[in-house]
Amino acid sequence: MILELPLHITDKYKSASQKARVMTEAWALNNIYCPACISNKITDTAANTEAIDFICSCCEASFQLKASSKPIRQKIVDAGYDAMIRSIQNDTLPHFLIMGYNYETASVTDLLMIPKFCLSISAIEKRNPLKPTARRAGWVGCNILLNFVPPQGRIMMVDSGHIVPQNTVREKFQTIKPLENISAKSRGWTLDVLTLLRSMNKLEFTIDDAYSFENILSELHPDNFHVRAKIRQQLQILRDMGYLRFVKPGSYTWVK
């Protein structure tokens, strides 16, 4: 992987957005490997393929690239809200590649991968509809909220201009991959509990610590009226996945 962007291929384009798209997609095609398997290449998809920019010909993992000349922030602008929610519910999301680049130095500064099974509906924020005067009046977009993606699901491939070793990236992907085995319908709860527990930055915690998120989880899942029981269920799931170890009744420690 090299971090230099191919500025020379943008000469024939006038629009700044076109230049950025062509430049970043060309860089991705020539530099990004597949974190999900041993393949060192990804390939582009047919023109106008909806929501998917690249695919791994080895494991068939799909990827969507989002590039910006601004630093990666807690909100990532995405496309249509309804389409995103349907994709999460139907388990048809691609993996996301979030790129930050510096146009002046023509270089990639950051590359963040979010595995498709690390996004819950709670991580999707509905934007306001476009104004009546807009070309797509009434259209509703969305934002991805990084603080509702579990830390293990924010996998840096390039971090502040430094390339993260491939084996490190792939190890982190395999660590979080067991979430893929949970049904899309149930995964939201697991992701939300995992994310909230991790936000405490504690190696060990108690059941009361977990219960402290009861109100937040009630707001995220208003159709569930037995939130504490659901929290206990998710702790058992995280234990069975190897993320948690039960130290003693009501006390837990992180393994991964």
CB 36 within 8 A of CB 56: yes
220-226 long-range contacts, CB within 8 A, separation 24+: 220/122, 220/192, 221/188, 221/189, 221/192
Please give the single-letter amino acid code of residue 209: D
If one compares 244 and 12, the residue with the highest pLDDT of the two is 244
CB 125 within 8 A of CB 142: yes
Residues β-bridged to residue 65: 97
Tokens of 101: 């680049």
Q: Given this model, what pLDDT does residue 48 score?
A: 67
- Number of CB atoms found within 10 A of residue 126's CB: 13
- Number of CB atoms found within 10 A of residue 60's CB: 10
CA distance 95 to 112: 11
Per-residue pLDDT, averaged over 166-195, amounts to 95
The 3-state DSSP class for residue 124 equals strand
Q: Which of 92, 188, 205, 202 is nearest to 149 (CA)?
A: 188
Strands 62-68 and 204-206 turn out to be unpaired
Domains, in order of start, for the chain: 7-181 (3.40.210.30), 185-254 (1.10.10.10)
Q: Which of 170, 172, 194 is nearest to 182 (CA)?
A: 194
Q: How confident is the model at residue 84 (pLDDT cuts 50, 70, 90)?
A: very high
Q: Given this model, what pLDDT does residue 199 score?
A: 94
Per-residue pLDDT, averaged over 216-222, amounts to 95
pLDDT tens digits, residue range 1-50?
999 999 889 888 888 888 899 999 999 999 999 999 999 999 998 776 77
DSSP H helices in 97-154: none
- Distance between the two ends of the chain, CA-based, in angstroms? 28
Q: Given this model, what pLDDT does residue 49 score?
A: 75
Is the pLDDT reported for residue 209 higher than 90?
Answer: yes
Is the pLDDT reported for residue 123 higher than 70?
Answer: yes
C-alpha 35, offset from chain centre: 13
The 3-state DSSP class for residue 116 equals helix
Tokens of 225: 């009226």
User: pTM (2 decimals)?
Assistant: 0.92
Average model confidence (pLDDT) across the chain:
94
Q: Given this model, what pLDDT does residue 34 score?
A: 97
If one compares 11 and 214, the residue with the highest pLDDT of the two is 214
